[in-house]
Structure 1
Amino acid sequence: MRDPVLMSRRLLLKSAAGAVLATACRTANPSAPKRPRQIGYLSTGPRLPADHPAYVAFRDGMRAESFVEDTNYEMTYRYCEGDPDRAVPLAVDLVYAGAEVLVVTSTGATQAARVVTPNVPIVMIASHDPIDAGVIKELVKPGENVTGQSLAGATLMPKQLDYLLQLAPVRRLGYLSPTFPTYAQAYPSVTDAFERSMRAAGKPLGIEVISPKVPKTGDVGQALATLAAESVDALFVIESPTWFTGAVSQKPINQIVDFATRRRLPLIGAQRMYAADQGFLLTYGDVRSAVDMHRSVARYVARILRGERPGDLAVDVPKFWELVVNAKTASAIGLDVPQPVIAEAALVIH
């Protein structure tokens, strides 16, 4: 089998010659109309409509920086739609299309884009932990061509487990994360990095982490069967666009929530939307929503388009965290939420 990364690099090198020639032609004809700046958007998740709140927020953020879509910048979108193996070819496609900046939605998408190009600036909307993922050197001065926003997910896991233990005794924790490809030897497996962080958080608390393999497609059927056989006490789900692909009845997120509800298992995660919209018992994480992060990432894009180097722009990390408790879910699975937890919650859903 041919190496898809190597093939993508060869395609990119061939396309680069055409891009240089096109640039030379435009330079030779100064009377030609000035082309809007080109921005590529790479998502590992499902295709979203143009009026999705996150995209509206990005356009608002760009407008605040004096960039107006279809006037002085244009967007080209590419979606993996649940298949992370498509990330590298799609990144090649965006670079070939002339993207001057790549906006990427996840850690896996960041690695894929970095494999394709060491030169085109890459801006992360939300990376779980970009240092562990090998795409930046440090937060303050990331270096090379990557910057953006980090969720700092690994640092939150001990506190997430602490809240869980206040709600229920847990000795065996089910842990679900999609399987992401290892895009190049230089980059560690995102899946393995997430799992190591959770095991490290659980060990001092006496929690054994049960982490069945989830196929890259996000098909959770076999993984849930394994967790049932292992008699786990609770379930932690890493945030990922992969969970939201497919038809409504087949979306992995719906299967996961149904599994936890039927077995009366506490289900926890990091982002507010999982408790507020999906019925998780508890989430603890960054106060910024996907909409917020799309709006704020626009400033990085604008600064780069004005000539700043991505490697000189500090990666933004969470400054405020929030606890969200779904009391309705707690009641459904027969749990009483202690008053101290209620008192700390930024939002309690009844």
Structure 2
Amino acid sequence: MLCGARSDASSLCGREGGDHQWDAAGSGPGGHAVKMNGTRMRIGLAVLALGASLLAIPSLLEAQRAAGISRVGWLEVCGPGPRRPHFDIFRARLTEHGYVEGKNLIIEQRFADCRYDRMPGLATDLVQVPVDVLFTMGTRAARIVAGAVKTTPLVVYSCDPFEHVTRLARPGGNLTGVTCMTTELSPKRLELLKEAVPKISRVMFLHDPEAAPNALKLTQEAAPRLGIRMQVAPVGAADELLPELTMIAKEHPDALFVYPDVVLSSYPRPRQLADFALKAHLPTMHAFRFFVDAGGLMSYGATQSEIYTMAAEQVAKILNGARPSELPLRQATRFELVINNRTAKALGLTIPPSLLLRADEVIE
């Protein structure tokens, strides 16, 4: 296996026709000299060299730490898209706190290809690197990773923080993080959707049932007073989206309410949802503006720039020596209403001027 792996391996492995007999002075059974084949001896040296290199890995990590180099794990359910503004914001904030990638910071990135079953193994891999702190995003992902990571500090971005902690001020254990409060704001989004399109009476709720079940409960409780009947379309994996969209098209609801779990939020699904809704003539409500930038009708929720900035700040505090159990889980403070008036016109809708005036941004 070792011979022939590299061109310079010939110095360790016997060349064809070049084997020699060596007399070794070491003692064998009965005190006789041991005769060793030259090739075997060289292979033995190669094995020793390999073992030494493996033993050197912990020493390398120790040397990096002694040199002030920190390691942060970044674990995503889905793979990166062509643009990564959230990662860029996260990295930039760490830089502002003195942790510069390529200088005194290494960011170990792992992606699960939209498969939640891969998350525990990838989390364990990062722990074994080892990283000083691990960051992951998404309520369901955070639940899975927290189950696999028991001692390494863990920072999570979750839409429903009480899935993970009982107290925001002192979360306890090895976990802290940030919350976008998407679950709590779900009833408000339904109100805004009704205000934008008063005639709606049947709304399809598209979500991952394992992501944040409280969001569905709160939205269903708010629906009757708005004269709305809720229907549910569950999507627990990427390959379940197309069949659910086909079902939705057959049901002909009045509007589509998208709860933003990680899979539905990942590239290229925001654009896929926008194209589907336009073709099906469905007004859509989302939690984050990137859905509206992709062509969705409207969104109301936390600004992602603030969320990833706060997440990086939590990571920096841990790298500086803080314990996650003593770091309050931070809540979003900036929220934005974004309306795509171009999409509204394509759907034949006239958004009430009073709502347009309240919007933080109107895309024309």
Provide the TM-score with structure 2 as the length reference.
0.77
The Cα of 1:191 is off from its aligned counterpart by: 4.7
Which of 182, 196, 221 in structure 1 is aligned with 2:217? Answer: 196
Q: Quote the residue 1:224 is aligned against.
A: 245
- The 1-side partners of 2:205 and 2:56 are apart by 49
Q: Aligned residue for 1:41?
A: 74
Q: Write the deviation string for residues 29-72 of structure 1: whole angstroms up to 9, x where unpaired.
A: 989954622211111122357x8333332222112212122332
Partner of 2:331: 317
Shift of 1:241: 3.6
Tell me the equivalent position of 2:291.
Answer: 274
For 1:285, the aligned partner's letter is G
Q: Find the aligned partners of 1:242 and 1:218 in 2 and give their Cα distance.
A: 10
Aligned to 1:119, what secondary structure does the other structure show? coil
Q: Deviations over 1:208-260 (max 9, x none)?
A: 221123241253221122222322110011223423657xxxx4333322221
The separation in 2 between residues aligned to 1:244 and 1:141, in whole angstroms, is 29
User: Aligned match of 2:207 in 142, 164, 177?
Assistant: 177
Structure 2 alignment gaps of length 5 or more: 1-53
Counterpart of 1:71 in structure 2 is 103
Which residues in structure 2 correspond to 1:16-95 (within 5 Å)? 26=59, 34=67, 36-48=69-81, 52-95=84-127
Deviates more, 1:110-119 or 1:192-201: 192-201
Match status 1:128 vs 2:149 = no
Q: Does 1:293 align with 2:326?
A: no
The residue type paired with residue 78 of structure 2 is: G
Q: Does 1:330 align with 2:363?
A: no
Give 1:257's aligned residue. Answer: 274
Percent identity over the alignment? 28
TM-score (norm 1): 0.80
Deviation at 1:23, TM superposition (A): 11
CA displacement at 1:334 relative to structure 2: 0.7
**Greater length-normalized contact order (CA 8 Å, ≥ 6 residues apart):** 1
Stretches of structure 1 lacking an aligned partner (at least 5 in a row): 1-20, 180-188
The structure that has the greater radius of gyration is: 2
Alpha-carbon contact 2:270-2:291 (below 8 Å) kept: no
> Residue type matched to 1:148 in 2?
G
Name the aligned partner's letter for residue 317 of structure 1.
Q
The Cα offsets for residues 171-206 of structure 1, whole Å up to 9 and x where unpaired, read as 211111235xxxxxxxxx325333223223324323
How far is 1:25 from its partner? Answer: 6.8
How far off is 1:268 after superposition?
0.9
Give how far 1:122 is off: 0.9
Structure 1 position 141 matched with structure 2 position 170: yes
Mapped to 2, the partners of 1:252 and 1:130 lie a distance apart of 25
Give every structure 1 segment of 4 or more consecutive aligned residues whose post-TM-superposition deviation is greater than 4 Å: 21-27, 29-33
- Per the alignment, residue 18 of structure 2 pairs with none
More strand as a share of residues: 2
2:185 partner SS? helix
Structure 1 equivalent of residue 317 of structure 2:
303
State how many pairs are aligned. 309
Structure 1's 237 and 22: CA in aligned 2 closer, same or farther, altered over 3 A?
farther
Aligned residues of 1:58 and 1:294 also touching (Cα < 8 A): yes
**2: CA distance, partners of 1:195 / 1:30:** 50
